[in-house]
Structure 1
């Protein structure tokens, strides 16, 4: 596997866009091949939402970025529900079309934003994993975009001054240093596979069969997406 950047001293403004394009090329063909009934499957990581709802949320968020529409309260739970409701009479194919457009065009806008929108690209990649879990499709929180996702996760946790963590990954060549090593708190330690690390940072349920070690930090402290 390609090794993600271990040190992220200078922001790479093109990284979020690269992650979106890599995931687009993997995810959109999967979605276009689905049976219509698959869009109604529940997504356990997003209680109350179906596959269609998650896709509508993802597509609307990216198009807002592309079009620069950031009114007050945007991306709040209430705004997310409104975005989904506004697409209630759309066909599934139209939602996937909008998602493809957003994943194609959002990169430059995220790059210009100076870092404040970088986490959106990471969130889209995580939601792609959520949908894969619902569909019982391979590659959830892993796949071809994993090196870019890990590098972006490193960048986001450092930029936010998140709890420090050293991660020794079974399936990545070099260890990751996540969060801000301020010296006030010794880094926690994670040993396990990359997909499990992503699940922890995304606040997702960890696969019961995943063997991992976490020391010096609670799992809840790693969650970068909130409750």
Structure 2
């Protein structure tokens, strides 16, 4: 899989996930939003409030010195504490619709936002016990976004032999004197590795690189 930037890819991933996730959220019970997620301390509602606030910042170009920091994230969630669940979902839908064009017009530094939003959609599905939390139509798009994110985070070079793809995925940066690491497994498990999500029940092989070195959201 090519590692060159496609400026339209983040928006495509966001819109693809929007069309699947928003109807799911609209049909959920209020109690579903109170369930805990893989993100420490965050409920489903917190995750959705975070996602919507991030996309709103992107669309409105509202970036401060601590933007996307844990402190900023906590403030954004707290600001939405008085919103209804429907309002939280409304903001998320608007952001998933509008952020792609803004990201595409930029130099690529915000491409990882789309990947993070897609992972958080998986967090919601996992919290609700749904099958294929980090799979679905967006998975091939998310895997393509791993390349730029891995370069940005200076991840060691990794060659991924994906069971569910005919192509190898090469991500990360070559390091002098170090052979590329190798991953063998499915795409969804690679996403879990790179996002620091639970690996319970998965099966994969990893050589020449540690799990910690693959974590891209630190």
Cα distance change, pair 118–187 in 1 and its aligned pair in 2 (3 A): same
CA distance in 2, matches of 1:77, 1:155: 23
Pick the aligned partner of 2:197 from 204, 208, 215.
204
SS in structure 1 of the partner of residue 198 of structure 2: coil
Q: Who is 2:67 aligned against?
A: 74
SS in structure 2 of the partner of residue 167 of structure 1: strand
Shift of 1:161: 3.4
Say whether residues 1:152 and 2:123 are aligned partners: no
Q: Is the contact made by 2:3 and 2:170 (CA closer than 8 Å) also made in structure 1? A: no
Residue-by-residue CA offset, 1:172-224 (whole Å, 9 max, x unaligned): 12111111234542111111111110000001111x22111011000011001
Q: Who is 1:8 aligned against?
A: 3
Pick the aligned partner of 1:115 from 83, 108, 117.
108
TM-score computed with the length of structure 1 as normaliser: 0.93
In structure 2, stretches of 5+ residues that fail to align are none
CA distance in 2, matches of 1:160, 1:225: 8
Residue-by-residue CA offset, 1:146-173 (whole Å, 9 max, x unaligned): 1110111123213443211111111112
Q: Who is 1:85 aligned against?
A: 78
Residue-by-residue CA offset, 1:98-132 (whole Å, 9 max, x unaligned): 00000000001111221110111100000011111
Q: Count matched residues.
A: 218
Q: Who is 2:55 aligned against?
A: 62
In structure 1, stretches of 5+ residues that fail to align are 1-5
